[in-house]
């Protein structure tokens, strides 16, 4: 007993965070410089962190090192210069902005969070303490906001309290596979100061979690197509959240305390806000809308479920002080605006009952990406130390299989498998056999399936197989990518079979991404897979690069997935003009889990040929905010090409029979007067599934054969006829928004909602659908 206690003390006295201490062997496999360093500790670049020294230059040098994409270079995107910029504990004074580069993670020590503090004479020149995407002298964002991928900020306190007049913490135009996690913002509330924690004006995101904001004129200003934010606390901000615009936005677990205004969504460019599991305490006006109650469009849709108000005089009101819903002391609210005529309730009561397996306490279950604060560096099992090469050339199949076996055998010792940054090329399936914890580095730890075993379109095979069918296990995986190289028409990138016992927390995948094509080393770039809109396209077999991206199989269950981007490239990231490409992948995310208990938090699936999300014979699924895009090349060729065989075992849609009707118009090229095409991928297809609860869904179809004219209101939103299929008794969808589809949701042989009656912003929006 005594001895154990002494040991515990000895361990906690000094052990720096593992990320600081571990051997730094991460590499960028496809960077021509063999000495390119992924990991950088700002102290190695001269940062002092003593609260006195000006560390601006040192931190920026740590970011810039290695001829990276950013700064004055014309680079608009690159996957070959990833970086982890690490800040040990300390207070780092800065007198002008930290300029973030493409593909950067800024990570502080979570056991003793570093502070980045603006000096009183902070000269922005740009806008914020951290400029994730700065404005160039020409007045444009350096990186197109919808192409700002692969970046994170974690474990940092941003302090603007010394800065006079105007200041902000992070400027964050952002898109998929980005996040800000576990940060604190200390903002001035002096009467003449305009301080903002996060300023985000554009993008296609995205995910934020575990943030705390103190003070400020605005805690945050948010404008983006769609986003999921979870677990944000605002204390004493004038307005906690200023919603500048959106198509759809999901707020889960907000705590708004002592603010004048909670969420100000009074802007006609706001499509929909979904708010759940939140509290407002001592707030004068919780939600402000400018939606005219007589408005019969979908603009300004608002859904609120399980929100608690304490000392809130106005729950829902207009900017002029009109009160639509007054507070009444302490209450829990559920409310939907608009309430008709296209909100579809059937004969059900207003609130869809929460499936008990998805709930913990009084909230839907949520859990943040583990950072292993309490695991010493000695417990991390490095892939590279273990003999995996990770150079994008060597076959690492055996090395990874042995590594994952070792990680499973030593799981009970508290071992975490560390996949150092690098491309681990594999010629056959890599298996995870039992309980395991795996973490990647720099958003650049990639398992790259290549070769003949993955190339047979009639014999699909998993690249990463997590558990064998029926296996009971517990897994935690974060910050990894699974990809393919060249023609791999038989590749299933992730096959997830694990069933985690209900007695255990769910298994978790955080920032586990699928990326098919469009990156250096993929052999699926402009040179190999150019787009061909001007001819009838015959798909190049070497550009068919996945059979399915992610399969959650029948035996799988009890799984939490957060911030996962399942992407088939629509453009080549390395190309100076982000030129579009034709890369084909059959199926997106297929969920067949019979037992269910699946959370898909902030996930998006894009550009697969048959469907993005498909749920079959499953139940108890939480999804929110999901986002999809139809392939840009369709209908040239029309779906299902190049996947001609219908796989009945996987419940593939049968386009040949579906498109027999009057919609059978594979119009090539698109003409303004033509009918919408039918040979287009489903955004979401739900078959024989129940208790599916969707808090925010954006299903988009912007193109017909690379032409965007079909996705405008004047053209009649007719890129495709249907985008969302739901069988009977599926569950509920809050704030569905669609673009470019004539019908927003279809069930049996009935189209339930059309875009025209529900137009909102650029998208059409329906607040509530009981399906
Ligand atoms: C929410 O965020 C706070 C502060 O970052 C953190 O301490 C807490 O554990 C988070 N809650 C959940 C449920 O993740
Ligand atoms: C409803 O809102 C839309 C979008 O802001 C606007 O264009 C339209 O004029 C409004 N209609 C009414 C009747 O208020
Ligand atoms: C990018 O586009 C510009 C302008 O159209 C063109 O001059 C340039 O050659 C293009 N660069 C590449 C790499 O395609």
DSSP H helices, 168-315, are: none
If one residue of 73, 577, 578, 580 were mutated to test the ligand 3 pocket, choosing by the most ligand atoms within 8 A of its CB, it would be: 577
How much is the pLDDT for 329? Answer: 55
Sign of CA dihedral 631, 637, 643, 646: positive
Mean pLDDT to the nearest integer, 688-705:
97
Report the residue count for the chain. 771
Q: Which atom of ligand 1 is nearest to the CA of 366?
A: 13
Token pair listed for 6: 């002494």
> Percent of the chain scored above 70 by pLDDT?
92
Q: Which ligand is nearest to the CA of 576?
A: 3
pLDDT class for 127, splitting at 50, 70, 90? confident
Sign of CA dihedral 163, 167, 170, 171: negative
pLDDT class for 272, splitting at 50, 70, 90? very high
Where do the domains of the chain lie?
31-180
Ligand 2: does its nearest atom lie under 6 Å from the Cβ of 268?
A: yes
Ligand 2: does its nearest atom lie under 6 Å from the Cβ of 269?
A: no
If one residue of 266, 268, 337, 764 were mutated to test the ligand 2 pocket, choosing by the most ligand atoms within 8 A of its CB, it would be: 268
Distances (CA, A) of 229 to 204, 213, 602: 13, 14, 8
Look at 120 and 8; give whichever has higher pLDDT.
Answer: 120
Mean pLDDT to the nearest integer, 442-446:
97
- Lowest-pLDDT range, 86-100, 449-463, 658-672? 658-672
How much is the pLDDT for 69? Answer: 97
d(CA 516, CA 545): 7
Residue 5 reports pLDDT greater than 50? no
Q: Which one, of 507, 533, 448, 450, lies nearest residue 482 by Cα?
A: 448
Query: What pLDDT, in 10s, does the model give residues 368-403?
Result: 999 999 999 999 999 999 999 999 999 999 999 999
Residue 9 reports pLDDT greater than 70? no
Residue 345 reports pLDDT greater than 50? no
Query: What pLDDT, in 10s, does the model give residues 517-552?
Result: 999 999 999 999 999 999 999 999 999 999 999 999
Ligand 1: does its nearest atom lie under 6 Å from the Cβ of 99?
A: no
Instruction: Please state, rounded to an integer, the average pLDDT across all residues of the chain.
Output: 92
Q: Which one, of 426, 432, 480, 414, lies nearest residue 454 by Cα?
A: 426
Q: Which ligand is nearest to the CA of 157?
A: 1
Mean pLDDT to the nearest integer, 606-628:
98
d(CA 541, CA 487): 6
How much is the pLDDT for 669? Answer: 37
How much is the pLDDT for 432? Answer: 97
Look at 562 and 4; give whichever has higher pLDDT.
Answer: 562
How much is the pLDDT for 238? Answer: 98
Residue 179 · residue 207 · CB < 8 Å: yes
pLDDT class for 413, splitting at 50, 70, 90? very high
pLDDT class for 587, splitting at 50, 70, 90? very high
How much is the pLDDT for 46? Answer: 98
pLDDT class for 344, splitting at 50, 70, 90? very low
Ligand 2: does its nearest atom lie under 6 Å from the Cβ of 297?
A: yes
Q: Distance from the CA of 575 to the center of ligand 3, in angstroms?
A: 9
How much is the pLDDT for 664? Answer: 40
Mean pLDDT to the nearest integer, 215-228:
98
How much is the pLDDT for 668? Answer: 38
Q: Which ligand is nearest to the CA of 293?
A: 2
Look at 174 and 670; give whichever has higher pLDDT.
Answer: 174
How much is the pLDDT for 343? Answer: 46
How much is the pLDDT for 293? Answer: 76
Mean pLDDT to the nearest integer, 183-204:
97
CATH assignment of 31-180, given 2.160.20.10, 3.40.50.300, 3.30.1490.20, 3.40.50.920? Answer: 2.160.20.10
Mean pLDDT to the nearest integer, 551-577:
98
Q: What is the pairing mode between strands 436-440 and 475-485?
A: parallel
pLDDT class for 675, splitting at 50, 70, 90? low
How much is the pLDDT for 671? Answer: 38
d(CA 402, CA 408): 10
How much is the pLDDT for 348? Answer: 39
d(CA 590, CA 664): 26
Q: Which atom of ligand 1 is nearest to the CA of 367?
A: 14
What is the residue with the minimal CA distance to atom 5 of ligand 3? 577
How much is the pLDDT for 111? Answer: 97
Residue 751 · residue 743 · CB < 8 Å: yes
Ligand 1: does its nearest atom lie under 6 Å from the Cβ of 212?
A: yes
User: Which are the contacts of 160, defined by CB distance < 8 A and separation ≥ 6?
Assistant: 118, 122, 129, 167, 168, 169, 185, 186, 187, 188, 195
Ligand 1: does its nearest atom lie under 6 Å from the Cβ of 284?
A: no
Quote the Cα angle for 747-750-751, to 5°. 85
How much is the pLDDT for 713? Answer: 87
User: Which are the contacts of 701, defined by CB distance < 8 A and separation ≥ 6?
Assistant: 629, 630, 680, 683, 710, 711, 719, 720, 723, 738, 739, 740, 741
How much is the pLDDT for 342? Answer: 42
């Amino acid at each position: 007993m005594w001895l154990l206690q002494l040991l515990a003390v000895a361990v906690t006295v000094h052990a720096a965070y593992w990320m600081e201490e571990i051997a730094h062997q991460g590499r960028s496999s496809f960077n021509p410089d063999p000495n390119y360093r992924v990991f950088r500790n700002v102290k190695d670049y001269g940062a002092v962190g003593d609260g006195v020294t000006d560390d601006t230059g040192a931190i920026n040098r740590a970011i810039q090192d290695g001829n990276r994409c950013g700064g004055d270079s014309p680079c608009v995107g690159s996957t070959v210069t990833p970086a982890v910029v690490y800040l040990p504990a300390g207070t780092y004074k800065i007198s002008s902005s930290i300029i973030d580069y493409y593909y950067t993670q800024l990570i502080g020590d979570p056991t003793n969070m570093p502070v980045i503090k603006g000096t009183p004479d902070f000269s922005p020149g740009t806008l914020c303490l951290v400029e994730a995407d700065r404005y160039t002298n020409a007045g444009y964002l350096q990186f197109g906001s919808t192409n700002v991928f692969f970046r994170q900020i974690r474990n940092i306190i941003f302090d603007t309290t010394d800065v006079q007049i105007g200041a902000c913490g992070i400027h964050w135009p952002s898109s998929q596979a980005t996040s800000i996690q576990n940060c604190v913002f200390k903002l001035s509330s002096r009467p003449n100061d305009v301080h903002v924690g996060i300023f985000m004006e554009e993008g296609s995101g995205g995910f934020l979690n575990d943030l705390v904001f103190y003070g400020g004129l605005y805690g945050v200003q948010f404008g983006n197509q769609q986003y999921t934010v979870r677990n944000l606390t605002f204390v004493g901000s004038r307005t906690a959240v200023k919603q500048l615009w959106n198509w759809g936005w999901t707020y889960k677990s907000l705590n708004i305390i002592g603010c004048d205004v909670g969420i100000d969504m009074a802007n006609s460019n706001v499509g929909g806000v979904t708010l759940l599991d939140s509290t407002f305490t001592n707030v004068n006006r919780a939600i402000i809308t400018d939606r005219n109650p007589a408005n019969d469009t979908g603009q300004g849709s608002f859904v609120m479920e399980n929100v608690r108000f304490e000392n809130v005089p106005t729950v829902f009101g207009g900017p002029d002080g009109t009160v639509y819903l007054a507070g009444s002391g302490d209450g829990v609210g559920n409310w939907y605006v608009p309430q008709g005529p296209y909100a579809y309730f059937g004969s059900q009561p207003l609130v869809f009952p929460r499936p008990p397996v998805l709930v913990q306490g009084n909230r839907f279950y949520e859990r943040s990406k583990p950072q292993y604060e309490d695991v010493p560096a000695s417990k991390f099992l490095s892939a590279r130390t273990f003999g995996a090469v990770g150079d994008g050339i060597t076959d690492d199949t055996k090395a990874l299989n042995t590594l994952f076996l070792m990680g499973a055998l030593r799981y009970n010792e508290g071992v975490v498998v560390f996949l150092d940054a690098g491309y681990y090329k594999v010629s056959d399936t890599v298996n995870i056999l039992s309980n395991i914890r795996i973490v990647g580095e720099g958003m650049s730890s990639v398992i790259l399936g290549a070769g003949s075993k993955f190339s047979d379109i009639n014999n699909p095979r998993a690249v990463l197989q997590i558990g064998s069918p029926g296996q009971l296990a517990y897994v935690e995986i974060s910050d990894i990518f699974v990809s393919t190289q060249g023609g791999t028409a038989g590749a299933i990138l992730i096959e997830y079979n694990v069933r985690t016992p209900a007695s255990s927390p769910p298994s978790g995948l955080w920032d586990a991404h699928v990326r098919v094509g469009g990156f250096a080393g993929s052999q699926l770039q402009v040179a190999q897979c150019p787009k061909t809109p001007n001819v009838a396209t015959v798909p190049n077999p070497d550009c068919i690069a996945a059979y399915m991206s992610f399969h959650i199989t029948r035996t799988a269950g009890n799984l939490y997935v957060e911030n996962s981007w399942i992407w088939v490239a629509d453009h080549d990231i390395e190309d100076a003009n982000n030129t579009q490409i034709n890369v084909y992948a059959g199926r997106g995310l297929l969920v067949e889990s019979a037992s269910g208990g699946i959370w898909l938090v902030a996930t998006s699936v894009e550009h697969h040929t048959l469907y993005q999300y498909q749920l079959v014979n499953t139940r108890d699924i939480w999804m929110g905010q999901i986002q999809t895009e139809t392939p840009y090349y369709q209908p040239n060729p029309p779906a299902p090409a190049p996947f001609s065989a219908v796989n009945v075992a996987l419940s593939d849609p049968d386009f040949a029979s579906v498109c027999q009707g009057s919609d059978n118009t594979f119009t090539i090229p698109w003409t303004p007067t033509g009918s919408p095409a039918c040979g287009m991928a489903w955004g979401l297809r739900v078959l024989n599934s129940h208790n599916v609860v969707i808090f925010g869904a954006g299903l988009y179809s912007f193109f017909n054969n690379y032409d965007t004219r079909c996705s405008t209101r004047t053209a009649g939103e007719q890129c495709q006829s249907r985008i969302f299929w739901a069988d009977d008794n599926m569950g509920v969808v809050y704030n569905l928004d669609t673009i470019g589809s004539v019908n927003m949701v279809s069930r049996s042989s009935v189209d339930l909602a059309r875009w025209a009656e529900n137009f909102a912003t650029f998208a059409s929006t329906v607040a509530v659908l009981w399906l």
